Amino acid sequence: MTVEAGGPVARTSLGIELGSTRIKACLVGPDHEVVATGSHDWENRLVDGVWTYSLDAVWTGLRGAVAAVLADCERRGVDPAGIGALGVSAMMHGYLAFDAAGELLVPFRTWRNTSTGRAAAELSERFGFNVPLRWSIAHYRQAILDGEPHVPAVAFLTTLAGYVHWRLTGRTVLGVGDASGMFPIDPATGTYDAGMLATFDALSGRPTPLVDLLPQVLGAGVPAGVLTDEGAALLDPTGALRAGVPLCPPEGDAGTGMVATNSVAPRTGNVSAGTSIFAMVVLERPLASLHHEIDVVTTPAGDPVAMVHCNNGASEVDAWAGLFGEFARALGHDAAPDEVFGALFRAALDGEPDGGGLLAYNYLAGEPITGLEAGRPLVVRTPGSTPSLANFMRAQLYGMFGTLSLGMEVLAREGVALDAMFAHGGVFRTAGVAQRFLAAAIGAPVAVGATAGEGGAWGMAVLAAYLHAHDELPLGEYLAARVFAGAPTTVVEPDPADVAGYAAFLDRYRAGMAVERAATEAV
């Protein structure tokens, strides 16, 4: 794409995604190529036993990311006045409860909290549908069961993306993909399942029907309001970003991952690796049974998706990379983070196929798939193992995919067919490493595109651009014909030696889970 210096780009689209450790902004042109990017680092905090972010941190981070993308526009000679569409996405699930005056009633409870076991089990049984611990409805029901004093004042519930969208436009709406992590969606209607809503209301005894507390559900490409003067000032106090920009429905990071990898059609799937790691497989038919390892959510267009969500992803790899970076600096080599990651990841390629007998758990938080309410990162080895750098890093990367493999095995037993698995997230920026090990972990080819490192912010920008084509093409056709046609991708087939080595590692991983469990009790 050619950008005229100093001039506006017609119909650019801005996507913003609030991830677990970074808030990213990505501006794309009419051909969906990246025009400018920006980001702001942030981190969740454990406050009184609750993983949370303050709302002040939300807006500080958003302004930082927008300021960075505007600065990038200036460096590239692009006039941001050409922005023609905007979209916001964020971490799915969690609990944001507001009163009638729009005041937050309790601190934001993120997806990382696992304190909703009683509510999730009760709702799963009553609905005949798996309700994970992190879903918004599980948090709300647990608050009711616990008699929390804020419950009678709840006027509406939303997600992080829904909250930001509401402040930007004044509308309490959600994209169907994000909404499917609040409450089950009926694929036939594209909105909340009416039967399950009635079941919840009868169970809760609350005077206000649940549907009145939930955001309105919108499909991909449906207009979802415009940026107000107040919203523009919240994002950009300088005034460079102007009111009146149309917004698409806010989405969750799972939905933007599907868009960013062109995996919204049946028999396609994607893996997103960040603070959490999850796989999404678009279903041809309903699952035969309820499985606690599998969530059923939707694409941004409303099609059913089997989701394997692991609370723990790349954070432990990040921590070790930070430590090795410190070591490099202690030796007088001031290595940039990307240099450190690249060196460590490439070293893993020289490791033994099974990681040399090493075992690594990336559990910084509880992990519902393996039944753990808390986590302790561990590296375990036997006296006969080989603790080389190559084996250490291979074990860390294998461990990052360990819980994911357990969930994918459930889908395999269900007979879920998968033609293509795409991957995105920062760990895939070092070519041919995490991608190769993921292929071994799931026993299927893994494709990575040129936008793998941009991830959800780019996917959200594409969804914003789709506002202008919603009436012309279904989302899947739009992605195939206008976004990904001819887009370069790299496909890695499973290496037989890696597959055998990973299987040996996974056997140790299962057996060693008792060690992980004991660590949570003892340390």
DSSP string, 399-439: HHHHHHHHHHHHHHHTT---SEEEEESGGGSSTTSHHHHHH
DSSP run (H or E) holding 22? strand 22-28
For 94-112, the DSSP string reads -BEEE-TTS-BSS--B-TT
- Tens digit of each residue's pLDDT (9 = 90 or more) over 300-336: 999 999 999 999 999 999 999 999 999 999 999 999 9
Residue 427 in any domain: the answer is yes
Number of domains in the chain: 2
Residue 287 in any domain: the answer is no
113 with 17, same domain: the answer is yes
209 with 351, same domain: the answer is no
Single out the residue in 212, 237, 254 at which a domain terminates: 254
- Residue 87 CA: distances (Å) to CA of 20, 140, 207, 463, 513: 18, 27, 34, 7, 41
| Three-state secondary structure call for residue 183 | coil
| Three-state secondary structure call for residue 359 | strand
The burial class, CB within 10 Å (0-12 / 13-18 / 19+), for 472 is: exposed
185 with 330, same domain: the answer is no
Residue 91 in any domain: the answer is yes
500 with 431, same domain: the answer is yes
Write down the pLDDT at residue 130.
Answer: 95
For 284-318, the DSSP string reads SS--SS--TT-EEEE-TTS-EEEEEEES--SHHHH
Angle in degrees, 0-180, between the axes of helices 389-413 and 496-511, rounded to the nearest 10: 80
Query: How far apart (Å, rounded) are the C-alpha atoms in residues 44 and 53?
Result: 5
- Tens digit of each residue's pLDDT (9 = 90 or more) over 395-441: 999 999 999 999 999 999 999 988 879 998 889 889 899 999 999 99
Single out the residue in 254, 269, 292 at which a domain terminates: 254
Q: What is the CA radius of gyration of the chain?
A: 22
Residue 465 in any domain: the answer is no
Residue 141: give its domain's CATH number: 3.30.420.40
Residue 296 in any domain: the answer is no
Determine the structural domain holding residue 366 and report its residue range.
Answer: 315-450+493-522
233 with 365, same domain: the answer is no
Query: How far apart (Å, rounded) are the C-alpha atoms in residues 469 and 471?
Result: 5
181 with 321, same domain: the answer is no
387 with 240, same domain: the answer is no
342 with 220, same domain: the answer is no
76 with 200, same domain: the answer is yes
233 with 379, same domain: the answer is no
Residue 372 in any domain: the answer is yes
214 with 353, same domain: the answer is no
Residue 398 in any domain: the answer is yes
Query: How far apart (Å, rounded) are the C-alpha atoms in residues 296 and 303?
Result: 10
Residue 2 in any domain: the answer is no
Report the amino acid identity of residue 471. D
- Residue 456 CA: distances (Å) to CA of 22, 82, 425, 508: 11, 22, 8, 33
Query: How far apart (Å, rounded) are the C-alpha atoms in residues 18 and 28?
Result: 18
- For residue 327, what are its two tokens? 């070591």
Q: Are 222 and 249 in contact (CB under 8 A)?
A: yes
In the block, tokens 């269900």 appear at 414
Each residue's pLDDT expressed in tens, for the chain with a length of 523 residues: 333 333 444 589 999 999 988 999 999 999 999 999 999 999 999 999 999 999 999 999 999 999 999 999 999 988 877 799 999 999 999 999 999 999 999 999 999 888 999 999 999 999 999 999 999 999 999 999 999 999 999 999 999 999 999 999 999 999 999 999 999 999 999 999 999 999 999 999 899 999 999 999 999 999 999 999 999 999 999 998 999 999 999 999 999 989 988 999 998 999 988 888 999 999 999 999 999 999 999 999 999 999 999 999 999 999 999 999 999 999 999 999 999 999 999 999 999 999 999 999 999 989 989 999 899 999 999 999 999 999 999 999 999 999 999 999 999 999 998 887 999 888 988 989 999 999 999 998 999 887 555 678 999 999 999 999 999 999 999 999 999 988 888 999 999 999 999 999 999 999 999 999 999 999 9
Spatial CA neighbour of 473 closest among 221, 265, 268: 221
Residues 6+ apart with CB under 8 A from 56: none
Quote the DSSP letter at residue 265.
Answer: S
504 with 366, same domain: the answer is yes
Query: How far apart (Å, rounded) are the C-alpha atoms in residues 265 and 279?
Result: 14
- Residue 236 CA: distances (Å) to CA of 63, 65, 70, 154, 229: 6, 10, 9, 30, 10
Single out the residue in 254, 274, 291 at which a domain terminates: 254
Diameter of the chain by CA atoms?
Answer: 66
